[in-house]
């Protein structure tokens, strides 16, 4: 199962968006791979190294490929993540005032 | 170099408009990480090496968690995110496969780690711009694993002597997370640019810093006196007396250890916000009169079970001991669904900020924890001469406050029956919710003080989440609605005989000092670094003028109009405070 989405976060697939992307991909049993839309070889979405090496910038398309029982759920979650402008800071500290 | 010769300036990119002079400490974190030749393959037990690698990964993850939280607290979530990325590198299947292949070939784990990172680092180094910075991340992760595997000592950046200037090839996120900004006079690096982690860190903590100086920096020896000029982007060894003087003038305003009053004699307490014991020292150094917000969350995070009563007593005593003549306001545990604590049952609600947090948990699922914390606080108060005040976060109703006060009273009774002889500390309530601001009269009648938490108050009054950039414009404490909430809270507090303080970021904004004095606040609590500026500004304020400004600001229709009115006033006062800061 495969889907093409446009990467929205300003940082592209770097730093926090990339870390969240990899973390999410590893939560599923499905084998998830990601590739730039221009046809390059897909890489393991559970590898921060591989995902970061793609150098995907904001506004570029990526292909998401998932195989396995929860492939659809994985694609749904990853698509949502890649199309949400700023990764909502789930870890907002409660230490403020 | 002879003292008479003109000192040579090493030029780089200045990242903070600050200068200071200090004594050079060269930082070479990898000195201990040079590996010997690997032993013969047949003497290596692959299973044992795999286990060592697993163990190192686990410890690396734990360190990264801690550094992440510390950076989030000191600099912000954006900068802390880099540690999340590092954790992903630690768990990367390509790296793990690479290391395991090396181990299977008979390499010790550390050699296998070094090999496994070599290609990826080279790959990123070959790319341009931001991708090249990923090579730094990988080196940082690799060195962390190597250090853990070889039991090399970590160079302890947290305990540099005061007045050190740190020189390094580069400073990684892990390095900067340890720096104690109160001790480091400045730093300079051979590599790095304006957007490097170290640069961002220096800016948010106000450390003079120059990056990207180049190899010339290596000509400066350990122990040399050096001037770091973050404004002009220069590093000068053995600066002339003239240059020193200019550097001292460029550094923050004079530190006033004594408490301050306005030009017409109204005392305003200036206190520090702290979230760890390490920050107490900085608070004292910057001339804080006391602690206006002691966050206790750090005691509870990053562990498997809550701290017991005795452990907490020790921590609170340490805080009280730092200010024997001042006041230490401790906030009881303020957690919610937004920051999970493993041993607490915390569901993950849709909107943690409108959920069960602060006093709501303390009166509910965390009632035991709350009681233990109060016991520890009262015991610490009995053991130290300083003045302890306790405040409750996230109060929305009078009944919540009454329930919290009842708990405090019963804890005090219990301790009295155990022979503890000391009066109950000052009790207060944080004003963070609109409901608390609107019922401040009734709250004030029941407590000794109110403390306005402007970050949350702004978020709730404006219905704009603090972390959502899309509504960042609404998250402005100068919105007239927020100012009016503050105005009525102060009036209500004073009518109820309670002193009123402020411990949000607004309190530490030197541009707003006159406005806050005019609004009638008795205490301002802030990050330690801004204390000297705010103290200087208070001393220049005339209360009657400030009150006129406050009236005009609260009457304004928009935040732009508020800032306009504040800025126009500021014009007159800048001259005063400037001339103040020039006399050291």
Closest CA to B329 of B401, B410, B273: B273
How far is Cα B535 from Cα B523, in angstroms, rounded to an integer? 11
Residue of A nearest to B351 (CA): A90
Residue B205, pLDDT > 80, answer no
pLDDT in tens, B132-178: 778 888 988 999 999 899 887 776 787 788 889 999 988 887 788 77
User: Is A86 in contact with B123 (Cβ distance < 8 A)?
Assistant: no
Comparison of pLDDT for B272 and B70, the residue scoring more: B272
The CA distance from B514 to B530, in Å, is 15
Residues of the domain holding A11: 2-82
* B230-258 tens-digit pLDDT: 878 899 999 888 788 777 654 446 788 89
| Residue in this structure with the two tokens 């090999």, named with its chain if needed | B115
Residue A39 belongs to a domain: yes
Q: Considering the entire predicted model, what is its pTM?
A: 0.55
In chain B, which residues have their Cβ closer than 8 Å to the Cβ of A86?
468-470
Mean pLDDT of the residues in chain B: 87
The pLDDT of residue B504 is above 50: yes
A49–B84 CB contact, under 8 Å: no
Tell me the domains of chain B and their CATH numbers: 9-27+156-250 (3.50.30.10), 31-150 (1.10.274.10), 260-456+484-582 (3.20.20.60)
Window A:25-84, CB contacts with B under 8 Å? 26, 44, 46-50, 52-53, 55
For residue B25, list its beta bridge partners: B166
According to the model, what pLDDT value does residue B576 have?
42
Residue A95 lies inside a defined structural domain of this protein: no
Determine the pLDDT at residue B575: 40
Does B16 lie at the interface with A, CB-CB under 8 angstroms? no
DSSP per residue, B383-435 = HSSSEEEEEESS--SHHHHHHHHHHHHHHHHHHHHTT---PPPEEEEEE-SHH
How close A2 gets to chain B, by Cα (Å)? 22
Chain A residues with CB under 8 Å of B130 CB are: 14
pLDDT for res B191: 84
Residue B278 has pLDDT above 80, yes or no: no
Three-state DSSP class for B351? coil
Split at pLDDT 50, 70, 90, the class of B329 is very high
| Cβ atoms of A32 and A78 closer than 8 Å | yes
Those of residues 465-484 in B touching chain A at CB distance below 8 A are 466-470
Q: What are the residues whose beta carbons fall under 8 Å from the beta carbon of B468, sequence distance 6 or more?
A: A86, A88
pLDDT confidence of residue B146: 92
CB B548 within 8 A of CB B518: yes
- Cα B457 from Cα B463, distance rounded (Å): 10
Question: N- to C-terminal Cα distance for chain A?
Answer: 46
**What backbone phi and psi angles, to 5 degrees, belong to B344?**
-105, 145
- Supply the CATH number for residue A12's domain: 3.30.1340.10
pLDDT at B175: 83
pLDDT of residue B248: 67
* Position A74 in a domain: yes
Instruction: Please give the share of chain B, as a percent, with pLDDT higher than 70.
Output: 91
Q: Answer yes or no: do A16 and B134 touch at CB < 8 A.
A: no
pLDDT of residue B445: 97
Nearest CB to B297; choose among A49, A53, A95: A95
Active-site entry in A7, A9, A14, A65: A14
List B residues 394-433 in contact with A (Cβ-Cβ < 8 A): 430, 432
Q: Which residue of B has its CA nearest to A10?
A: B469
**Beta pairing partners, B452:** B431, B502
pLDDT at position B470 is 74
How many distinct structural domains can be found in chain A? 1
Query: Taking CA atoms, what residue in B is nearest to A23?
Result: B88
ipTM, 2 decimals?
A: 0.80
Say if A96 falls within a structural domain.
Answer: no
Whether A59 is covered by a domain: the verdict is: yes
Whether A16 maps to a domain, the answer reads yes
Residue A89 within a domain: no
């Amino acid at each position: 199962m495969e889907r093409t989405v446009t990467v929205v976060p300003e940082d592209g697939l770097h730093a926090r968006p990339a870390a969240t992307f990899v973390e999410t991909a590893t939560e599923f049993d499905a084998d998830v791979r990601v590739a730039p839309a221009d046809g390059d070889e897909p890489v393991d979405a559970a590898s921060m190294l591989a995902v970061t090496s793609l150098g995907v910038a904001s506004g570029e398309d990526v292909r998401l490929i998932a195989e396995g029982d929860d492939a659809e759920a994985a694609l749904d979650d990853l698509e949502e993540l890649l199309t949400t402008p700023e990764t909502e800071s789930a870890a907002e500290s409660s230490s403020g005032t | 170099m002879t003292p008479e010769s003109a000192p040579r300036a090493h030029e780089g990119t200045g990242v903070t408009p600050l200068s200071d002079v200090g004594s050079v400490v060269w930082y070479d974190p990898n000195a201990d990480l040079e590996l010997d030749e690997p032993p013969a393959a047949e003497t290596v037990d692959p299973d044992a090496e795999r286990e060592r690698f697993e163990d190192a990964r686990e410890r690396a993850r734990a360190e990264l968690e801690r550094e992440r939280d510390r950076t989030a607290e000191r600099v912000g979530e954006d900068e802390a995110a880099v540690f999340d990325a590092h954790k992903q590198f630690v768990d990367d299947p390509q790296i793990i496969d690479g290391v395991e292949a090396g181990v299977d070939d008979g390499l010790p784990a550390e050699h296998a780690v070094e090999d496994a990172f070599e290609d990826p680092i080279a790959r990123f180094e070959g790319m341009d711009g931001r991708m090249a910075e990923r090579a730094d991340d990988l080196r940082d992760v690799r060195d962390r694993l190597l250090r853990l595997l070889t039991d090399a000592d970590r160079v302890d950046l947290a305990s540099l002597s005061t007045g050190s200037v740190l020189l390094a090839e580069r400073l990684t996120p892990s390095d900067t997370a340890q720096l104690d900004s109160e001790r480091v006079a400045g730093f300079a690096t051979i590599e790095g640019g304006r957007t490097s982690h170290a640069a961002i860190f220096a800016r948010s903590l106000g450390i003079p810093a120059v990056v990207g100086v180049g190899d010339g920096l290596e000509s400066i020896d350990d122990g040399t006196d050096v001037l770091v000029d973050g404004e002009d982007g220069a590093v000068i060894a053995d600066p002339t007396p003239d240059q020193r003087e200019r550097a001292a003038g460029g550094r923050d305003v004079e530190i006033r250890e004594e408490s301050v009053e306005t030009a017409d004699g109204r005392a305003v307490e200036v206190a520090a916000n702290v979230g760890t014991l390490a920050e107490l020292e900085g608070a004292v150094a910057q001339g804080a009169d006391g602690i206006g917000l002691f966050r206790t969350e750090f005691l509870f995070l990053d562990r498997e079970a809550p701290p017991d009563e005795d452990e907490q007593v020790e921590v609170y005593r340490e805080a009280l001991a730092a200010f024997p003549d001042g006041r230490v306001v401790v906030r009881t545990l303020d957690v919610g669904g937004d920051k999970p604590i493993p041993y607490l049952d915390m569901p993950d609600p849709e909107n943690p900020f409108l959920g069960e947090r602060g006093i709501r948990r303390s009166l509910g699922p965390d009632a035991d924890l709350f009681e233990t914390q109060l016991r520890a606080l009262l015991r610490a108060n009995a053991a130290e001469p300083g003045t302890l005040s306790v405040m409750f976060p996230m109060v929305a109703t009078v009944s919540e406050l009454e329930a919290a006060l009842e708990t405090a009273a019963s804890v005090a009774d219990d301790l009295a029956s155990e022979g503890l002889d000391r009066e109950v500390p000052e009790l207060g309530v944080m004003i963070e919710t609109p409901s608390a601001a609107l019922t401040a009269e009734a709250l004030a009648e029941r407590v000794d003080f109110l403390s306005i938490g402007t970050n949350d108050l702004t978020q709730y009054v404006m219905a704009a989440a603090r972390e959502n950039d899309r509504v960042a414009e609404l998250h402005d404490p100068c919105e007239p609605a927020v100012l009016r909430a503050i105005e009525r809270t102060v009036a209500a507090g004073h009518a109820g005989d309670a002193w009123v303080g402020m411990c949000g970021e607004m309190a530490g904004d030197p541009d707003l000092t006159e406005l806050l004095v005019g609004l009638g606040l008795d205490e301002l609590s802030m990050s330690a670094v801004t204390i000297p500026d705010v103290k200087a500004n208070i001393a220049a304020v005339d209360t009657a003028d400030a009150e006129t400004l406050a009236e005009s600001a609260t009457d304004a229709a928009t935040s732009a109009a508020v800032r306009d009115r504040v800025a126009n006033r500021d014009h007159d006062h800048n001259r005063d405070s400037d001339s103040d800061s020039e006399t050291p």
